[in-house]
Amino acid sequence: MLLKLYEYGEMNQSKLMSICGLNNVKHKEILDEMVKKEMIERKDEPWGNKITIKYNISQKGKDILRAVLEPYEELFPRESKEGEK
């Protein structure tokens, strides 16, 4: 979820769960826990007579993502289009 929010930016719950291949009902507690741990930010936006919930990666989430991905990229660098590393 952190990577998808970083890549795509702010998303509503349905889109985020869909992109991650998760179920809105079954996996909502993961979102709630990530908000509680300040890895992602939740923003409620009025939409007509309803509220739309949007999520965005927080600075703490970016730091965690960086800490995980940088060592991975060092071990398994992506090749450029020209075949260079």
* Residue numbers of the chain with a pLDDT score lower than 70: 80-85
Entry pTM: 0.78
- CATH code: domain of residue 52: 1.10.10.10
Query: Given this model, what pLDDT does residue 73 score?
Result: 86
pLDDT of residue 85: 47
Task: Report the candidate in 57, 54, 51, 43 with the shortest Cα–Cα distance to residue 14.
Answer: 54
Residue 84 lies in a domain: no
Domain that holds residue 46: 2-75
Helix, strand, coil percentages (3-state) for the chain, rounded to 5, are 50, 20, 30
How many domains is the chain partitioned into structurally?
1
The answer to whether residue 82 is domain-embedded is no
Assigned domain for 68 exists = yes
The answer to the question of residue 62 being in a domain is: yes
Predicted pLDDT at 7 = 93
Q: Rounded CA gap, 7 and 14, in Å?
A: 16
